[in-house]
Amino acid sequence: MKPGRPARVDAIELSAYLRAIRRGLVAVGVCALVGATIGVAWTIRTPKVYSSTSSVLVSDVPLYLARKGEVGAKWFTIDTEASRLVSEPVLDATRKATGEQNIRAHLHLAAVPTTKVLKVTYNSTDKVAAQKGAATMTETYLQLRRTDLEARRDNRVELIGQQIATLNAKLDDTVIKGKSNAGKIAEQKASRLAIAQQIAARQTESRQVRTTSAYPGQVLRIGGTTKARQINPFVPPVDGLVLGGLAGLLVAYIRSTRLGRASDVSRLVPGRSVVTLPKHWFGPPGIRVHTWDPITVGVLGIGAGAVMVAPPDREPGEAERSAADQLSAALRSHGRESRVVDRSVLPADTIPALDPHHASTVLVTGEGVTSEPGSVLAALTGNVVLIVTPRTRQRALINAVHRAAEVGATVQGVVLLTRFAVPDGRFMPAVLRRST
User: For residue 17, what pLDDT band results from cuts at 50, 70 and 90?
Assistant: low
Cα separation, 297 vs 323, whole angstroms: 16
User: For residue 16, what pLDDT band results from cuts at 50, 70 and 90?
Assistant: low
Give Cα separations from 203 to 194, 195, 206 (angstroms).
14, 12, 5
Cα separation, 217 vs 219, whole angstroms: 7
> Do residues 273 and 414 make contact, with C-beta atoms less than 8 angstroms apart?
yes
User: Residue 279: its pLDDT value, please?
Assistant: 54
User: Residue 354: its pLDDT value, please?
Assistant: 65
Between residues 166 and 253, the one the model is more confident about: 166
Residue 118: strand pairing partners? 56, 111
User: Residue 395: its pLDDT value, please?
Assistant: 87
User: Residue 185: its pLDDT value, please?
Assistant: 79
Task: List strands edge to edge, sheet with 305-310.
Answer: 337-342, 360-365, 305-310, 383-388, 410-421, 274-281, 434-435
Instruction: State which amino acid sits at residue 69.
Output: G
pTM summary value: 0.52
User: Residue 92: its pLDDT value, please?
Assistant: 93
Cα separation, 373 vs 355, whole angstroms: 25
Given a cut of 50, is residue 421 above it in pLDDT? no
Q: Using alpha carbons only, what angle is made at residue 20 by residues 17 and 22, rounded to the nearest 5 degrees?
A: 110
> Do residues 394 and 10 make contact, with C-beta atoms less than 8 angstroms apart?
no
Tens-place pLDDT, residues 120-168: 888 888 888 888 888 889 899 999 988 888 888 888 888 889 989 988 8
Between residues 280 and 290, the one the model is more confident about: 290
User: Which phi-psi region, left, alpha or beta, contains residue 112 (left: φ > 0; alpha: ψ -120 to 50)?
Assistant: beta
% of the chain at pLDDT higher than 90: 4
Between residues 215 and 6, the one the model is more confident about: 215
Largest CA distance in the chain: 164
Given a cut of 70, is residue 186 above it in pLDDT? yes
Dump strand ranges (E) for 27-84.
49-58
**Of 427, 382, 415, which Cα lies nearest the Cα of 316?**
415
Mean pLDDT of the chain: 78
Between residues 253 and 330, the one the model is more confident about: 330
Tens-place pLDDT, residues 297-345: 888 877 778 888 888 888 888 878 888 888 888 888 888 888 888 887 7
Give Cα separations from 241 to 32, 38, 231, 257 (angstroms).
5, 9, 18, 24
User: Residue 134: its pLDDT value, please?
Assistant: 87
Q: Give the pLDDT mean for 264-289.
A: 65
Q: Give the pLDDT mean for 368-381.
A: 88
Instruction: State which amino acid sits at residue 40.
Output: V
Q: Which residues contact 60 (CB under 8 A, 6 or more apart)?
A: 116
User: Residue 345: its pLDDT value, please?
Assistant: 78
User: For residue 44, what pLDDT band results from cuts at 50, 70 and 90?
Assistant: confident
Given a cut of 50, is residue 425 above it in pLDDT? no
The CB-based long-range contact list for 262-268 (8 Å cut-off, 24+ gap) reads 262/416, 262/430, 262/433, 262/434, 262/435, 263/435, 264/394, 265/388, 265/397, 265/414, 265/416, 266/435, 267/7, 267/16, 268/6, 268/7, 268/394, 268/397, 268/398, 268/401
Q: Is residue 411 within a helix (H) or strand (E), and if so which, with residue range?
A: strand 410-421
Dump strand ranges (E) for 135-290.
217-221, 226-229, 274-281
User: Residue 73: its pLDDT value, please?
Assistant: 47
